[in-house]
């Protein structure tokens, strides 16, 4: 459904199944793009000039996409509003933050972070507070809840 010499990767369907978010270098540097499920109407939604961008994840309402990007020599989590193209920085720390995913209700983003050189832990951003996840509770379909000690 995509073609050309670009690296199009990490496709993710929108919650309504009508759009696909993906990472692509089709305009130069890596960015988050969306396109209709049939490959038509490709639109660049992030505006990185030359950054490593990956792991797009749709919000449950389909209005934003979370992703990780390497700025200042480290990966942090960002969100981009699909309509306005506004990018917001979610994390800003010295660790390697990646693989964001929204909670089913959209109230928080769970992501992995490399702490030190050997450990990766899960964290959640909820109302601008960073909290370490202590237990993940899952159902058969998706991450369902997070419990803290």
Q: What per-residue confidence (pLDDT) applies to 136?
A: 45
The residue ranking higher by pLDDT, 117 or 63, is 63
The residue ranking higher by pLDDT, 29 or 119, is 29
Question: What integer is the mean pLDDT of 128-141?
Answer: 44
pTM of this prediction? 0.82
H-only helix segments in 87-146: none
Q: What per-residue confidence (pLDDT) applies to 49?
A: 72
Task: List residues bridging with 107 in a β-sheet.
Answer: none
Q: What per-residue confidence (pLDDT) applies to 137?
A: 42
The residue ranking higher by pLDDT, 36 or 144, is 36
**Exposed, middle or buried, 83 (CB in 10 Å: 0-12/13-18/19+)?**
exposed
Q: What per-residue confidence (pLDDT) applies to 134?
A: 41
Question: Shortest CA distance to 55 belongs to which of 118, 109, 130, 4?
Answer: 109
Whole-angstrom distance, CA of residue 69 vs CA of residue 116:
19
Q: What per-residue confidence (pLDDT) applies to 61?
A: 95
pLDDT cut 70: percent of the chain above it: 82
Please give the torsion angle defined by the CA atoms of residues 131, 134, 14 and 51, in that order, rounded to the nearest 10 degrees.
Answer: 60
Q: Are 32 and 53 in contact (CB under 8 A)?
A: yes
Q: What per-residue confidence (pLDDT) applies to 50?
A: 64
Task: List residues bridging with 13 in a β-sheet.
Answer: 20
Q: What per-residue confidence (pLDDT) applies to 56?
A: 96
Question: What integer is the mean pLDDT of 72-78?
Answer: 86
For the cut 70, the answer to whether the pLDDT of residue 28 exceeds it is yes
Whole-angstrom distance, CA of residue 35 vs CA of residue 26:
13
Q: Which helix (H) or strand (E) holds 148?
A: none
DSSP one-letter string for 7-23: -EEEEEE-TTSSEEEEE
């Amino acid at each position: 459904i995509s073609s050309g010499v670009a690296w199009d990767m990490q496709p993710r369907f929108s919650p309504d199944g009508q759009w696909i978010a993906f990472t692509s270098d089709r305009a130069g540097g890596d960015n988050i793009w969306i396109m209709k499920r049939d490959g038509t109407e490709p639109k660049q939604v992030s505006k990185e000039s030359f950054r490593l961008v990956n792991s797009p994840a749709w919000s449950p309402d389909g209005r934003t996409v979370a992703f990780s990007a390497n700025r200042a020599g480290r990966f942090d989590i960002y969100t981009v509003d699909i309509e306005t193209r506004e990018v917001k920085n979610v994390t800003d720390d010295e660790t390697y933050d990646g693989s964001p995913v929204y909670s089913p209700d959209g109230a928080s983003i769970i992501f992995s972070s490399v702490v030190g050189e050997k450990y990766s832990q899960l964290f959640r951003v909820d109302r601008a507070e960073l909290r370490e996840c202590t237990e993940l509770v899952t159902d058969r379909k998706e991450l369902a809840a997070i419990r803290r000690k």
